[in-house]
A and B are shown apart, each in its own frame.
Chain A
Amino acid sequence: MTKEIIRIEDLKREFTMGTETVHALRGISFSINEGEFVTIMGSSGSGKSTMLNILGCLDQPTSGLYEIDGLKVKDLSRNELATIRNEKIGFIFQSYNLLARTSAIENVELPLLYNSKVTSEERRDRAVKALEMVGLGERLHHTPSQLSGGQQQRVAIARSLVNNPVMILADEATGNLDTRTSYEIMALFQELNKQGITITFVTHEPDIATFSNRTIVLKDGEIMQDYKNHNVLSAAEQLAQLPKQDD
């Protein structure tokens, strides 16, 4: 029996815009098991971003159940949400969101600075390990401006791994990258997934979904499709098939 990381039941989120009530999510149910690589797809207005905010504990549902790693998220205070984000979730953003003029290692250490249980030696060790996992063991002291877009996103991935989260939550993580670099990043995600890390990837690009083993498609705040992908493509192989660049 595999462990359930995320459990969502009849989740609703409503916004009040003036006199109108917008139903961003209209009763969604699904769960994510440990070790899954899920893509959440949908066009703009589908409720994808709202779903991401709730999954990331940045926002709370209007009604319904959301459990992460056995913890009920509803009705938690701002501070309790911050602690869950710190200990359970690793965030990756489209625009990397690295601290400027700050070295890769210090960027990766950031989440651990907010965790008083981690000593400064342990923090450094874990940050180095995380950077080695994403292949940047040689660039610990480079600042974001000295790194390419792909490398910056790798730093961001290392940052998301450093606190040993139960789930990595990626928001259009390849949106700012060219095809080749996106495949490289996807190959990295697949590799991390093979090591047992649960990944939830929110995107609107259909080809990204082919690299994951499950896809949830949202439309107008409801689940249109939720299917297992039996023919997972290997990003590394796709990368090899791309025409060689002569630079």
Chain B
Amino acid sequence: MRLFNLFKIATKAIVLNKTRTLLTMLGIIIGVASVIAMLAIGEGSKESIRTTISAMGSNMITIRPGSDDRGPARGSGGNVQTLTLDDYNQIKAEASLLSYITPVVNGGGQVINGSNNWPSTIYGVNPDYLNIKVVDLQSGSMFTDVEVQSASKVALIGQTVVDNVFPDGRDPVGQMIRFDNIPFKVIGVLEEKGENTFGQDQDDVVIAPYTTVQKRILAIDYLNQVMASAVSENDAPEAVIQVTEILRTQHKLMDSEDDDFTVRSMEELISTFSSTSEMLTILLVAVASISLLIGGIGIMNIMYVSVKERTKEIGLRMAVGGKGSDILMQFLIEAILISITGGLLGVILGLGATVFIEKFLNWPTSVALYSIVVSFAVCAVTGIFFGWYPARKASALDPITALRYE
């Protein structure tokens, strides 16, 4: 009952000072809106990275020769020749958590068709490759295991290669091309994938049996990498451990020795890239939080002025029976109401801004429920925190002095 009365008194004071209240709220409104918008941008970019990487095959596991090149001064992975076909066979035979696996050899070269030529990269793989990378065929068919064994000179090409070496729009399937000096029969065209998150053209590729590429083009007996696919996304981390153990045994590494290879799942890649965007989000939110803090200080400021301005009123309220606690509650409720209303308007503005950013700037955004809850809670706490000091000041006034205050 009493609290309800105090609530009425506080709302009355707010309504009587509409303009001032709105101006006070502005800081909170902008603060909350920017926190929500910034978090939405951060979440959005994180999600878009995740989607792109998942599209590359979220179960994918890559095994590269050479230890983790994040360490200091080691040779780059490409020059290390410690990954062999035997390793591949061993993993294929023993790893139970992998559903697909392919050796990968790759090299750059010129794709030539008559007078058209185009610099591209050739990947030597086995038929599992399409399943691992989650690529479909636009036309034609994949080569078979038999063709791999016989090192057939057959190839599949990506759309970028098609556009550049078959500019006349002829169907490339069944045509002959040359990669460097080796002739290949085009047996299929890969479905268009576009650029990946890192700006790499995923359609600028030639795919051929790894045996062919190894022997006829690169003339090497080692592998550049092994790609595999875990049974499921959840099994990927376990599969990484399994592969690591198999390879350590295969390479006869002592416990004291570091791995001479690197096994990574997509999950790790995702977290690497997410951490960058997370950093950015934290930065954005930090800036937005500062504006929320300033909004809070704005409330304190106005409440402080309000207490000074209404000293006589406070004196009167005390004279007619208002207790110190009543006065405290009145001003506290006022501050909380201002900040919560501001917070509510801020949420609306923030959501509006997010829609605007998505629609007109084409940035990926995603509003997380927690961002609304958190910024709203921060608002309420701000109201209590910054309303407390002036309210305390008001309640501690001496009624006699307050009544005589001019």
Given contacts A78-B324, A99-B313, A111-B321, 12 further A-B contacts (CB under 8 A): A82-B322, A83-B323, A85-B319, A85-B320, A86-B322, A97-B315, A97-B403, A102-B12, A110-B316, A110-B317, A113-B6, A114-B321
CB distance from A98 to the nearest CB of B (A): 8
Which residues of chain B come closer than 8 Å to A86, judged between CB atoms? 320-322
Given A58-B400, A114-B5, also A97-B316 (CB < 8 A) = yes
Which residues of chain B come closer than 8 Å to A85, judged between CB atoms? 318-321
Which residues of chain B come closer than 8 Å to A110, judged between CB atoms? 316-317, 320
Q: Which of B2, B16, B323, B399 interacts with A79 by CB under 8 Å?
A: B323
Question: In the complex the two chains form, what is the Cα distance from A78 to B320 in whole Å?
Answer: 13
For residue B325, CB closer than 8 A to chain A, the reply is yes
For residue B312, CB closer than 8 A to chain A, the reply is yes
B323 close to A53 (CB less than 8 A): no
Question: In the complex the two chains form, what is the Cα distance from A99 to B15 in whole Å?
Answer: 14
Interface residues on A, range: 20 to 34
Measured CB to CB, the nearest residue on chain B to A56 is B319
Measured CB to CB, the nearest residue on chain A to B320 is A111
Within 8 A of A (CB), among B1-47: 1-2, 5-6, 8-9, 12, 16
For residue B260, CB closer than 8 A to chain A, the reply is no
Number of B residues near A (Cβ < 8 Å) is: 25
B400 close to A83 (CB less than 8 A): no
Q: Mark A137-163, 1 if CB is under 8 A from B, else 0.
A: 000000000000000000000010001
A59 close to B400 (CB less than 8 A): yes
Which residues of chain B come closer than 8 Å to A58, judged between CB atoms? 319, 399-400, 403
Residues in chain B within 8 A of chain A (CB atoms): 1-2, 5-6, 8-9, 12, 16, 312-313, 315-326, 399-400, 403
Within 8 A of B (CB), among A85-99: 85-87, 91, 93, 97, 99
CB distance from B294 to the nearest CB of A (A): 30
B320 close to A79 (CB less than 8 A): no
A82 close to B321 (CB less than 8 A): yes
Q: Which 10 A-B pairs have the closest CB atoms?
A: A86-B321, A111-B320, A114-B321, A116-B2, A82-B323, A113-B5, A97-B316, A116-B1, A79-B323, A85-B321
Which residues of chain A come closer than 8 Å to B312, judged between CB atoms? 97
Question: In the complex the two chains form, what is the Cα distance from A56 to B9 in whole Å?
Answer: 24
Which residues of chain B come closer than 8 Å to A115, judged between CB atoms? 321
15 contacts between A and B (CB under 8 A): A56-B319, A79-B325, A82-B321, A82-B323, A85-B321, A86-B322, A91-B320, A93-B316, A99-B313, A99-B316, A110-B317, A113-B5, A113-B9, A114-B320, A163-B320
Which residues of chain B come closer than 8 Å to A113, judged between CB atoms? 5-6, 8-9
CB distance from A154 to the nearest CB of B (A): 17
Which residues of chain B come closer than 8 Å to A111, judged between CB atoms? 320-321
Given A53-B400, A101-B16, also A114-B322 (CB < 8 A) = yes
Question: In the complex the two chains form, what is the Cα distance from A42 to B13 in whole Å?
Answer: 39
Which residues of chain B come closer than 8 Å to A87, judged between CB atoms? 321
B403 close to A93 (CB less than 8 A): yes
CB distance from A69 to the nearest CB of B (A): 15
Measured CB to CB, the nearest residue on chain A to B396 is A78
CB distance from B309 to the nearest CB of A (A): 11
CB distance from A71 to the nearest CB of B (A): 15
Which residues of chain A come closer than 8 Å to B316, judged between CB atoms? 93, 97, 99, 110
Question: In the complex the two chains form, what is the Cα distance from A53 to B1 in whole Å?
Answer: 30
Which residues of chain B come closer than 8 Å to A116, judged between CB atoms? 1-2, 5
Which residues of chain A come closer than 8 Å to B323, judged between CB atoms? 78-79, 82-83, 114
CB distance from A226 to the nearest CB of B (A): 25
CB distance from B243 to the nearest CB of A (A): 73
Which residues of chain B come closer than 8 Å to A97, judged between CB atoms? 312, 315-316, 319, 403
Question: In the complex the two chains form, what is the Cα distance from A86 to B399 in whole Å?
Answer: 13
Which residues of chain A come closer than 8 Å to B6, judged between CB atoms? 113
Which residues of chain B come closer than 8 Å to A119, judged between CB atoms? 1
Which residues of chain A come closer than 8 Å to B5, judged between CB atoms? 113-114, 116
Question: Most B CB atoms within 10 A — which of A99, A110, A113, A163?
Answer: A113
Question: In the complex the two chains form, what is the Cα distance from A97 to B311 in whole Å?
Answer: 11
Within 8 A of B (CB), among A152-178: 159, 163
Question: In the complex the two chains form, what is the Cα distance from A56 to B317 in whole Å?
Answer: 14
Measured CB to CB, the nearest residue on chain B to A93 is B403
Question: In the complex the two chains form, what is the Cα distance from A56 to B318 in whole Å?
Answer: 11
Question: In the complex the two chains form, what is the Cα distance from A211 to B319 in whole Å?
Answer: 26
Given A53-B400, A58-B400, A116-B2, also A79-B324 (CB < 8 A) = yes
Which residues of chain A come closer than 8 Å to B321, judged between CB atoms? 82-83, 85-87, 111, 114-115, 163
Within 8 A of B (CB), among A178-232: none
Which residues of chain B come closer than 8 Å to A91, judged between CB atoms? 319-320
CB distance from B17 to the nearest CB of A (A): 9
Question: In the complex the two chains form, what is the Cα distance from A86 to B319 in whole Å?
Answer: 8
Which residues of chain B come closer than 8 Å to A101, judged between CB atoms? 16
Which residues of chain B come closer than 8 Å to A56, judged between CB atoms? 319
Question: In the complex the two chains form, what is the Cα distance from A246 to B155 in whole Å?
Answer: 115
Measured CB to CB, the nearest residue on chain A to B2 is A116
Measured CB to CB, the nearest residue on chain B to A53 is B400
Which residues of chain A come closer than 8 Å to B326, judged between CB atoms? 114
Question: Most A CB atoms within 10 A — which of B313, B319, B322?
Answer: B319
Question: In the complex the two chains form, what is the Cα distance from A85 to B321 in whole Å?
Answer: 5
Measured CB to CB, the nearest residue on chain A to B8 is A113
Question: In the complex the two chains form, what is the Cα distance from A104 to B5 in whole Å?
Answer: 17
CB distance from A68 to the nearest CB of B (A): 14
Question: In the complex the two chains form, what is the Cα distance from A113 to B322 in whole Å?
Answer: 9
Which residues of chain B come closer than 8 Å to A93, judged between CB atoms? 316, 403
Which residues of chain A come closer than 8 Å to B1, judged between CB atoms? 116, 119
Question: In the complex the two chains form, what is the Cα distance from A47 to B400 in whole Å?
Answer: 15
Which residues of chain A come closer than 8 Å to B8, judged between CB atoms? 113
Question: Most A CB atoms within 10 A — which of B12, B315, B321?
Answer: B321
Question: In the complex the two chains form, what is the Cα distance from A58 to B404 in whole Å?
Answer: 12
Question: In the complex the two chains form, what is the Cα distance from A79 to B403 in whole Å?
Answer: 17
